[in-house]
Structure 1
């Protein structure tokens, strides 16, 4: 599976088959379907990355980090702290 593209529509928001989501530019593994959950945003939502180095993060404002592919730097969106499905969890 290839991770979402913010331009041209999102095809994986409602996709819940088992698998791994990878960067659309370099195929670096980002998220597993086990960490995916339903959310009201127009993009897929995940609680955690596959590995710590799957993404790089830069704080944009308190509680929000800009997220990029850990290998090629492709923009992936944001991590929102304390906005996941469980108390205190993040949403990617």
Structure 2
């Protein structure tokens, strides 16, 4: 899955230090750095969330899901349906 931020240059795209990515608004745990993968798009991408309730998803188009924080609903970006490391949609 890939997530994008349109607020500025994505500062975490090439960031692979060990740790946990959290929601900027409420601090809810979202992703482990161990689940991050390299790809050609300008935003960070993850294969799996910390917990099943880490994020909420809703269909936005045929190719994308809108992804939000599972606790506060803060928008995190999109999951692109054929953008995983194996070219398939990531599922949890």
Is the pair's TM-score, using the shorter chain for normalization, greater than 0.5?
yes
Tell me the distance in 2 between the aligned counterparts of 1:64 and 1:11: 22
Unpaired runs of at least 5, structure 2: none
Partner of 2:51: 51
Normalised to the residue count of structure 1, the TM-score between the two structures is: 0.83
Partner of 2:23: 23
Partner of 2:38: 38
Compare relative contact order (CA 8 Å, sep 6+) and give the higher one, 1 or 2.
2
Relative to total residues, which structure has the larger strand share, 1 or 2? 1
Tell me the distance in 2 between the aligned counterparts of 1:7 and 1:24: 13
Unpaired runs of at least 5, structure 1: none
Residues 13, 77 of structure 1: alpha-carbon distance in 2 compared, 3 angstrom cutoff: same
Q: How many residues align?
A: 88
Q: Which runs of 4+ in 1 moved over 3 A?
A: none
Q: Please give the root-mean-square deviation of Cα atoms over the aligned residues, in Å.
A: 1.9
Normalised to the residue count of structure 2, the TM-score between the two structures is: 0.83
